[in-house]
Structure formats: structure tokens, C-alpha cells
Amino acid sequence: MTTEQTYETVDMMLNMGPQHPATHGVFRMVLTVDGEHVVDVTPHIGYLHRGSEKLAENETYGQVITLFDRLDYVANLNNELIFCRAAERLMGIDPPERGQYIRVILAELNRLASHLLFIGTYAIDLGAMTPIMYGFRERERIQNLFESVTGARMMHNFIRIGGVKEDVPPDFVPRVRALADDVQRGVEEIDRLLTFNEVFLARTRGVGVIDVPTALSCGLTGPGLRASGVAYDVRKDYPHEVYPYLSYKVPVGENGDCWDRYYMRVLECYESLSMVRQCLDQMEEGPVMAQMRRIARPPKGEVYVHGENPRGDIGVFLVSDGTDKPYRVKVRPPSFCNLVALRPMMRDAYIADAVAILGSLDIVLGEVDR
């Protein structure tokens, strides 16, 4: 009998999610941890799979828009816009200019709402309780505006193939101007509260760094890629709608860490506000819907259209067989593609950093799982 025993320390498997408060829905990370250090991470997805792409094959083009509302459920109008643009490209329709302005205003406001939600939930992930309340307060104003324009607060079904459902209410322009001023103040308040807070900086600077080659090879897009230093923005590089008429800045980061990804979104909030104001200045009276048949029936063919969602580059591949229902709809969801970068970012991370890194990717599970 020997009294000598050898002890072997094994890494611990830690299931984070699908019911963990910091995974923003039903995302599951299996962390292999050595004490507080994260050795490896395996993402598991699919808990919110609803088969949207397959469902879309059995719905008419008008009905598919309601499915797109439910992909990225914090940026609904951006999703509607991308599908409508794809169908329009296929049908060769050009929406009237006023319709395009309304679309862009609503899409930029929705980007703002999405970023405000991101800032709030990111602060919650890092343990600060207040920014989410401020963010929700401003988002509430934006949603009230959406309610007065589209009739719904989240699932709008407002952007239609060939334009928008109906013209904006008469008090739209002054109302959006007042809203833009209010939201600007709100964003500044959150900015002051959080951005250069020492604890926040300590938690996010140099955490989850990803360099440009890795980011590009992972297919990272949106604020995540811009934070690494690549000025890729679909609005800038593939002009569409009325974006070419606007002047704006594409913020670009330096280090590609969590703080940069956060700060890109704060800066984009200001840019979105300026874009909304420019659109209001330029908008003129006119029709909002193109002349077209009531039931969309695109000719046989296929098209790939992409646009800039709050989370990155969203793409829609649409195949039509000439009927009133799409033959195939494939979505390139930015959240899903950004998740690929999770593993390279998790190098040398602590458990607390894992939460910060996942939060900085700003995934929406409705879009990841579709």
C-alpha cells in the first residue's frame, strides 16, 4: 500500500446557457475552464430554429416580409428592407424617391434602437445596471414613433415590395426632428455614463482582440469588423436606396477589442441621427409606392442582395420560379457569421471576459438560428 497519491487536475466543463442571463437568448457556450481561465469554447446553436427559410418557400412574397420581421427582432425594419430590395431587384422595380427616404429614415432609426439596446445589455453583462434603463427610455421614444407610422412597435410589416405600405402621418417631420434631438441627448448621457468609465475601460480594453486577417477570414462584418480597422460598410461600398445622397462617416476602430466594438456602435448612433436629419431635409412630397401589380410575381431568376444591418452585412439570396411564392430564400445572417469569430476572440480570456466578448458581438438568436 502506498501513501503517495498523484493528483491530476482536469479542466472543468462549464455550460453557459441556454438559460444563462448573459447569453442573450438561447445560445449555449460550452466553456472548458481551468480555474477562471477559459481554455476552449464551443458554441451550440439551434435552440430557436423556426425554419424561417423553409417556411418562406410556402408563403407568398407579401407574407415572407412578416417572416423577415422575426429574424433579427430588434432591427425589424432593416430586415424587411433587405427582402423587399431583393424582390424589387428581381422584378426590376424602382421604388419612388419618397418611399426610399421613408425606408431609410425608418431603417436608420431602427439601427439606433438596436444599438441603444446593445449598449444597455452590454452594460448589464459587465454589471452596470443603469445604462439599460437609459437605453430603453430612448428606444421607447423611437418605438412610439414607429407605432405612429407603421401601427406596430416591433413587427411592422410596413416596408413592402415597391415602396412602403402608406405615407407617413402629417406630423412626421417635426416629430422625427424632436425625436432626433431627444435621442441625441439620451445617447450623450449614456456615452458620458459609460464610455470612459475606468472600470468599463478596464473590462473591455484589450479584451477579445481580433486582428484584421482573422476577422476577415472569420467573415466578421459590421461594427465588429470596423472595430478592427476595416472600413467596410455596405451603405458606403454598395450604395443603394438614397444613401448616395447622404454624407456621413463610417467610424473605424484601432485595436479590434471589445471597447472598440462598443465605441463603434456609440459613434454609429450619432451618424444615424445625422443621416435621419439629412433625409428629413431632402425628403419631398410624392408617391411612396411604385406602380405594380397587387400580387408580386417576380420573373424566373435569382438574385443576391445585401445591406448593412446594425449587426453587420445581411444578405438575401432569392430564387424565383415565376410563381407568387419564392422557390428558395437564403439569408446570410450577420449574427451567425459573426459568431465564427467567437473562438479566436476567446484566447486568454477569463470567464468574465467570455461574457464581455459574447456581448460585444451583439448576437440576436432569432437571426442566428432562423
Partner 1 sequence: MRSKPVQLAIAVVLLVGVGVLVAVFTLALALLGEPGDDVTVLTVGKIVIALFALLTLVTTLGMSLVWLERKQLGRMQGRVGPTRVGPFGLLQVVADGIKLLMKEDVSPGSSSKAIFYVAPLLVFVPSFVVWLTIPIGRDLVVRSLDLGVFFFIAVSVLSIVGLILAGWSSNSKYAILGGFRSAAQLVSYEIPLILGVLSVVMVADSMRFTDIVDAQASVPYLALLPLAFAVFFISGLAEVGRTPFDIYFAESEVVGGPFVEYSGAHWAIFFLAEYVNTFLVAALGALLFLGGWTWPFGELEQYPAVALFLGKTYFLAVVIFWVRATLPRLRIDQLMNVGWKMLIPLGFVSVILVAVQRFYGWPTWTLTLMSVAVLGAAAFVQLRLQRSDAVATAERYAQHAVAVQPSRSRPAPESQQA
Partner 2 sequence: MIGTLKGMLTTVRWLLRRPVTAHYPEQHLPVQERYMGFPALLMDDTAGEPFCTGCMVCVRECPTQCMSAQMHDNPKFTDGTSHRRKIINEFEINLNRCILCGICVDVCSFDAIEMSYEHELASYARAGSRADLDLLLEQGRRYMEMSGWNPENPEKNVAGVALAKRAAAAAAKTAAGEAGPADDSTEGGE
Residue 157 binds to partner 2 (criterion: CB under 8 A): yes
Q: Cα separation of 280 and 275, whole Å?
A: 9
| Cell (9 digits) for 289 | 409606392
State the binding partner of 216 from partner 1, partner 2, none, CB within 5 to 8 A by kind: none
Query: What CA–CA distances, in Å, run from 72 to 140, 202, 240, 284?
Result: 18, 31, 21, 30
> Which residues have a Cβ under 8 Å from the Cβ of 322 and sit 6 or more positions away?
297, 298, 299, 300
Q: Are 164 and 86 in contact (CB under 8 A)?
A: no
Residue 60 binds to partner 2 (criterion: CB under 8 A): yes
Residues that bind partner 2 (rule: CB under 8 A) add up to a total of 32
Choice between 140 and 254, CB closer to partner 2: 140
Choice between 15 and 58, CB closer to partner 2: 58
- Out of 47, 73, 172, 350, the only residue in the binding site for partner 1 (CB under 8 A) is 350
Residue 130 binds to partner 2 (criterion: CB under 8 A): yes
Q: Name the segment binding partner 1 (CB under 8 A); options: 50-58, 133-141, 168-176, 317-325.
A: 133-141
| Residue 267 Cβ vs partner 2, minimum distance, rounded to whole Å | 17
Q: Are 69 and 155 in contact (CB under 8 A)?
A: yes
- Out of 62, 219, 229, 344, the only residue in the binding site for partner 2 (CB under 8 A) is 62
Residue 199 binds to partner 1 (criterion: CB under 8 A): yes
Element (H, E) at 15: strand 12-16
Q: Locate cell 438560428: which residue?
A: 369
Max alpha carbon distance in the chain (Å)? 94
Q: Cα separation of 151 and 147, whole Å?
A: 4
Choice between 140 and 237, CB closer to partner 2: 140
Residue 196 binds to partner 2 (criterion: CB under 8 A): yes
Handedness of CA 131, 137, 140, 142 (dihedral sign): negative
Residue 149 binds to partner 2 (criterion: CB under 8 A): yes
Residue 253 binds to partner 1 (criterion: CB under 8 A): yes
Phi first, then psi, for residue 250 (nearest 5°) are -105, 105
Residue 39 binds to partner 1 (criterion: CB under 8 A): no
Query: What CA–CA distances, in Å, run from 258 to 198, 202, 227, 338?
Result: 14, 11, 9, 14
* Residue among 287, 257, 274, 277 at smallest CA distance from 361: 257
| Residue 216 Cβ vs partner 2, minimum distance, rounded to whole Å | 33
Residue 193 binds to partner 1 (criterion: CB under 8 A): yes
| Cell (9 digits) for 283 | 425628403
Residue 267 binds to partner 1 (criterion: CB under 8 A): yes
- Out of 21, 35, 46, 169, the only residue in the binding site for partner 2 (CB under 8 A) is 169
Query: What CA–CA distances, in Å, run from 176 to 166, 223, 244?
Result: 17, 25, 21
Q: Name the segment binding partner 1 (CB under 8 A); options: 51-59, 160-168, 199-207, 217-225.
A: 199-207
Query: What CA–CA distances, in Å, run from 48 to 132, 203, 221, 285?
Result: 24, 30, 22, 42
* Residue among 308, 242, 296 at smallest CA distance from 99: 242
- Out of 30, 32, 57, 66, the only residue in the binding site for partner 2 (CB under 8 A) is 66
Choice between 103 and 203, CB closer to partner 1: 203
Choice between 15 and 144, CB closer to partner 2: 144
- Out of 123, 258, 276, 346, the only residue in the binding site for partner 1 (CB under 8 A) is 123
Binding stretches for partner 2 (CB under 8 A): 59-60, 62-63, 66-67, 69, 130, 137, 140, 144, 147-152, 155, 157, 165, 169, 189, 192-201
Binding stretches for partner 1 (CB under 8 A): 12, 14-15, 20-22, 35-36, 123-130, 133-134, 137, 193-194, 196-200, 202-203, 231, 235-236, 239, 244-254, 263, 267, 282, 284, 350-353, 355
